Structure 1
């Protein structure tokens, strides 16, 4: 009778955690208050590292990697359930001039103010992410087409009403351009195609003068050839 292989337990004190703890300290994360290398302490360190890897350091919002994972999950959910979902892409208007005129520290304050305004406007169930330097994205699950323009306009107004006070005493007001697209219901799409749709609307908002929101008018008519091909491939696999 063969004996089962024995599991070798690692002594927690032998773990090389200096670099991990240094990263947490540099990020300003609170270190665990439990007994060092205890089970509770190690779990807290792991949780803090997971949080650090999924959040944007400047704003505390979801970072691009976590956003892309959430977007893929939402595409799959919409394909299975048929519930509507809206993706908004946001860009701070004339952000380069803020950095050029007032410096990058002022630009960081503007980014943080926009992040707060967006996060305070949407629902707790929505995902707000910083996906680029001055670019943000919002995933709104279970968002009917009739409500999409309303929430986009609320975000635009909330940002425009925010005032950023610089240490120099100068006050800045930022505006954003928004583009929105709905995930096609009951269709096996992809997160890349969904983002491309929202980006096209964002470019339209910029071309039309900025500080405005542009959303797709109709969802059903915008199923692309790629998505039709994906749907056909899935149908074939199911019938085999």
Structure 2
């Protein structure tokens, strides 16, 4: 069995790395070719460019490309494990008024401040992304429906109470509308449909007055005690028009043994 030939040594002088080096010029972790091996230096450049390609340049959050990759992984995880997940879509209310009143530089400050506030509200395992414009998205793995509304409401409340200094001596506050949708356990969800459902709830939050949370809860498939009891009754006996005695629950019989 033949082995692959060893790669030829890398000559950095033969590569056009000026643009890559300029993009990463502010990254202190990138060492000089003289201080490290050419291969190690090139790997640092590649890793740095990959990181840049997955980040929103203004806020430093995950961009749409990374957000989509996270959704792909999360859908697979939900299908395998049966755990639920929550997707939140958030939009800054009346953001155009901020830009029109204070200017676009102030709008950028607001976007950065909201991004930092949102980052302080999520877990390390969650993914926070700038979806576009003044819209953000959060993917929350393992988030039960019972807790989803409390999580979203906490985010909304913290954003509302945070003052943003857009210039010396001038602070403003903004609010966000939040829409969310849960995945169905054990179901291979369609990512476009999942996003569409969360977007629909965001639109609902906007139309109902903004600065509020609207969630699309999964259907409750729990069988109540009454329904369970009815499952173990025979149909009426047509000769007597009386209900036959109940059938014992197999689980109860097993427990008595």
The 5-angstrom pairing of residues 39-54 of structure 1 reads 39-54=39-54
Q: Where is the helix percentage greater, Structure 1 or Structure 2? A: 1
Q: What is residue 170 of structure 2 aligned with on the other side?
A: 170
Q: Which residue of 2 aligns with 1:127?
A: 127
How far residue 17 of structure 1 moved from its aligned partner, in angstroms, is 0.3
Question: What's the counterpart of residue 33 of structure 1?
Answer: 31
1:92 aligns with 2:92: yes
Which position in structure 2 is the counterpart of 1:226?
A: none
Per-residue Cα deviation, 1:157-179 (whole angstroms, up to 9, x for no partner) = 11111111122522110100000
Determine the C-alpha separation between the residues in 2 that align with 1:66 and 1:218: 26
C-alpha root-mean-square deviation of aligned residues, in Å? 2.0
Query: Would the aligned equivalents of 2:118 and 2:159 in 1 still touch at CA under 8 Å?
Result: yes
Gap runs ≥5 in structure 2: 222-257
Q: Secondary structure at the match of 1:91?
A: strand
1:218 has 2:218 as partner: yes
- Which protein is bigger by CA-based radius of gyration? 2
Deviation readout 1:120-146 (Å, 9 max, x if unpaired)? 011010000001010000000000100
Gaps spanning 5+ residues in structure 1: where? Answer: 222-240
Equivalents in 2 of 1:192, 1:24: separation in Å? 34
Q: 1:6 to 1:121 in 2, by over 3 A?
A: closer
User: TM-score by structure 1 length?
Assistant: 0.84
Count of residues in Structure 1 that have an aligned counterpart in Structure 2: 218
Counterpart residue number, 1:149: 149
Please give the alpha-carbon distance, in whole angstroms, between the structure 2 residues aligned to 1:219 and 1:118. Answer: 28
Q: 1 or 2 for the larger relative contact order (CA 8 Å, sep ≥6)? A: 1
Q: Which runs of 4+ in 1 moved over 6 A?
A: 2-6
